[in-house]
């Protein structure tokens, strides 16, 4: 389906240098809160299952629903932004993230599921709307801001992965370990409030380019599949790497630290990959090389001695962070102009994250069916193979033609 623009493409008044710095910091602070939901649950998943009596299938649903929301609710971000204004829609997203995350602290299965849906909807809005702000207010710094934005996403996930278990142990409750991540989201909402309270300034809309809908473009679908398949692997890791490593013998804190280390690797990959992706004529070699890193990292996590697990985690993070940044870069490079880039971003995230939701769900189904993670590497190998194929297709030096 043809997704609407992330937000109306506009010509915004040039802000002062100080104002742009504050706006950039605000965007990065918001991005820090768009991934804490996922690794925090992963780090405590065995405790959540024991405390609620949830089966592996129900636990898989807990990890899958928020990811599914990233796809489903992304299509509603643009209409809400057109009605309220982008800044106010972002504030609404932050409030949803804070409320949904806090709701998980009630320690009941319905609250865990409902809170995941509410927070996932807010994250979906943030995913779609923040790149629109970057395009509007930082047209001369898109590459740098995209790298910093991607790094902030990974940084938030890394902090949540590392600190959730210690916080839960200090508080004496796994539920409080989940709910604590509502606090930084609420703080970000308070800091964003003055900007959202301003009356929207006068802007001149730019007509969307091209008449042919994006869903008729094979290249647009290839880009969407590239986004979705790398996201599926990413959310499998967010949701299940810590339980997998605990199943291999690590304790809860060590498994959470290992996940955090992997996400730190993602931060480095996010910063380095845009330069790698633009070195050659296209992005096929970069995508293939990064998937090779992911394969090596996952193989090490499953089969290498536990003493070397940190090396595997870093390799995995470098590959996955790089793939995220390359996927975002490919969206910009395949689009002929900003209008099509906005539409392609909405389509790729909507379809991609909906597809990605199946990854954690399948891991849970496999675990429940066989009582362990023995067959999960087969699933990961299949996702990597499909991801390489989609990268070879989406990474070609071509432009989407909507004429």
CATH number at residue 184: 1.20.1250.20
Q: How many domains does the chain have?
A: 1
Considering the domain boundaries, does residue 399 fall inside one?
no
Considering the domain boundaries, does residue 228 fall inside one?
yes
Structural domain harbouring 93: 10-394
With a cut of 50, which residues of the chain have pLDDT below it? 1-14, 201-211
- Collapsing DSSP to helix, strand or coil, 10 comes out as strand
The reported pTM is 0.77
- Going by C-alpha positions, the residue among 232, 202, 250, 194 that lies closest to residue 376 is 232
The CA angle 81-85-86, to the nearest 5 degrees, is 65
* CB-CB neighbours of 89 under 10 Å: 24
* DSSP structure string for 162-222: HHHHHHHHHHT-HHHHHHTTHHHHHHHHHHHHHHHHSPPPP-EE-PPS-SS-GGG-HHHHH
Considering the domain boundaries, does residue 198 fall inside one?
yes
- Which pLDDT score is estimated for 342? 66
Considering the domain boundaries, does residue 2 fall inside one?
no
Considering the domain boundaries, does residue 401 fall inside one?
no
State CA 289 to chain mean position distance.
21
Considering the domain boundaries, does residue 3 fall inside one?
no
Measured CA to CA, the distance from residue 262 to residue 150 in angstroms comes to: 15
- Which pLDDT score is estimated for 6? 42
14's CB contacts (< 8 A; 6+ apart) are: none
Measured CA to CA, the distance from residue 174 to residue 47 in angstroms comes to: 7
- Which pLDDT score is estimated for 18? 77
15 φ/ψ sector (left φ>0, alpha ψ -120 to 50, else beta): beta
- Which pLDDT score is estimated for 203? 37
Considering the domain boundaries, does residue 164 fall inside one?
yes
* DSSP structure string for 59-74: HHHHHHHHHHHHHHGG
Scan for tokens 């991609």, then name that residue. Answer: 352
């Amino acid at each position: 389906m043809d997704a609407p623009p992330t937000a109306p493409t506009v010509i915004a008044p040039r802000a002062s240098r100080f104002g742009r710095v504050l706006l950039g910091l605000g965007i990065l602070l918001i991005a820090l809160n768009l991934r804490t939901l996922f690794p925090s649950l992963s780090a405590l998943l065995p405790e959540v299952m024991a405390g609620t009596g949830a089966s592996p299938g129900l636990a898989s649903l807990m990890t899958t629903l928020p990811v599914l929301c990233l796809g489903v609710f992304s299509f509603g971000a643009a209409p809400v932004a057109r009605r309220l204004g982008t800044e106010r829609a972002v504030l609404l997203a932050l409030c949803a993230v804070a409320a949904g995350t806090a709701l998980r602290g009630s320690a009941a299965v319905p609250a865990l599921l409902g809170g995941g849906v509410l927070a996932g909807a807010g994250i979906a809005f943030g995913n779609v709307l923040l790149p629109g702000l970057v395009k509007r207010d930082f047209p001369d710094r898109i590459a740098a801001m995209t790298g910093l934005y991607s790094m902030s996403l990974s940084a938030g996930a890394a902090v949540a992965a590392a600190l959730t278990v210690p916080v839960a142990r200090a508080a004496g409750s796994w539920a409080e370990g989940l709910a604590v991540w509502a606090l930084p989201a609420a703080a970000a909402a308070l800091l964003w409030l003055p900007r959202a309270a301003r009356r929207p300034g006068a802007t001149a809309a730019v007509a969307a380019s091209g008449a042919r809908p994006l869903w008729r473009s094979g290249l647009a679908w290839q880009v969407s599949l590239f986004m979705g398949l790398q996201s599926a692997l990413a959310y499998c890791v967010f949701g299940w790497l810590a339980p997998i490593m605990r199943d291999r013998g690590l304790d809860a804190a060590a498994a959470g630290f290992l996940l955090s280390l992997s996400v730190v690797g993602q931060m480095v990959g996010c910063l380095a990959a845009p330069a790698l992706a633009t070195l050659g004529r296209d992005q096929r070699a970069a995508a293939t090389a990064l998937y090779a890193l992911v394969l090596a990292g996952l193989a090490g996590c499953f089969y290498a001695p536990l003493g070397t697990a940190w090396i595997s985690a870093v390799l995995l993070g470098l590959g996955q962070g790089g793939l995220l940044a390359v996927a975002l870069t490919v969206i910009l490079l395949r689009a002929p102009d900003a209008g099509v880039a906005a539409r392609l971003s909405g389509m790729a995230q909507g379809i991609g994250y909906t597809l990605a939701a199946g990854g954690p769900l399948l891991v849970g189904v496999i675990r429940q069916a066989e009582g362990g993670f023995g067959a999960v590497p087969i699933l990961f190998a299949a996702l990597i193979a499909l991801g390489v194929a989609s990268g070879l297709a989406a990474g070609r030096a071509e432009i989407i033609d909507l004429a």
